[in-house]
Structure 1
Amino acid sequence: MPPRPPKPCRKPGCRKLTSEPGGFCAEHLALVEQAQIQRRRAFDQRRTGAASRGYGQRWRELREQKLRQDPLCARCGRAAQMVHHRDENPRNNSLENLASLCRDCHERLHGRLR
Structure 2
Amino acid sequence: MPYKPKRPCAYPGCGRLAEREQYCAEHQKVVDKQYNQYERDPKSNKRYGRSWKRIRDRYIKLHPLCEECEKQGKLTPAEEVHHILPLSKGGGNEKSNL
Q: TM-score under structure 2 normalisation?
A: 0.48
Which protein shows a greater Rg? 1
